[in-house]
Amino acid sequence: MPNHTPEFWESAFSQKHEMWGLQPAHSAILTKDLFIQNGVKSVLIPGIGYGRNAQPFLENGMQVTGIEISQTAIEMARKHYSPDIKIYHGSVTDMPFDTDKYDGIFCYALIHLLDENERKKLISDCYNQLQPGGYMVFTMITKAAHTYGQGQYISKDRYGMFGGVNMYFYDREAVTAEFGPFGLMEIRDVTESFPFYWVACQK
């Protein structure tokens, strides 16, 4: 089953509810600091989930817009963080949902769930929605994860696992290849539930 079917993610959120807790990921805190240092006021979060990673931006006065495939997750985000938060209901593969330009974009643990063409489109779509001088940050799983190479082989560095989730595992060369044309600034190793890269770009 493809990762981005609404049925798959509705089931995941309905069964696990606030599956990662209510505290923001470390990567969201790092991104908040970058955004504050550079005067970011408006933030787009593709794959906002139930909103935990919107919290650092909202708490620092930034206007947040989200995109989320799961209606259940959208309802959770509004319950926990802000009833008025603007969240488009749909898949990031269908971006753009508006013509707005954002000062910052934060995309957490989503891009590695997409196939090659979808990853390229997401990066390009996000870059196109940045204000000139704006920043976008992505996080993704790396080959240092203990799950790399496990599960059903799909294509180079991509495996099916966890009951239907297809995951692409990045190394630094892959990050540079995909993000290099889009103002790549920094690749940082961070640890979340798995080893991740924190990748920052500027337009």
d(CA 92, CA 75): 18
Average pLDDT, rounded, for the chain: 89
Q: Quote the pLDDT of residue 21.
A: 60
| pLDDT tens per residue, range 136-169 | 999 999 999 999 999 999 999 999 987 778 999 9
d(CA 28, CA 45): 11
| pLDDT tens per residue, range 17-28 | 445 566 889 999
Can you spell out the DSSP letters for 65-77? EEEES-HHHHHHH
Q: Is 183 exposed, middle or buried (0-12, 13-18, 19+ CB in 10 A)?
A: middle
pLDDT band at 4 (very low <50, low <70, confident <90, very high): low
Domains of the chain, start order: 6-202 (3.40.50.150)
**Global pTM value:** 0.88
Nearest residue to 65 via CA among 101, 39, 29, 32: 101
> What is the percentage of the chain residues whose pLDDT exceeds 70?
89
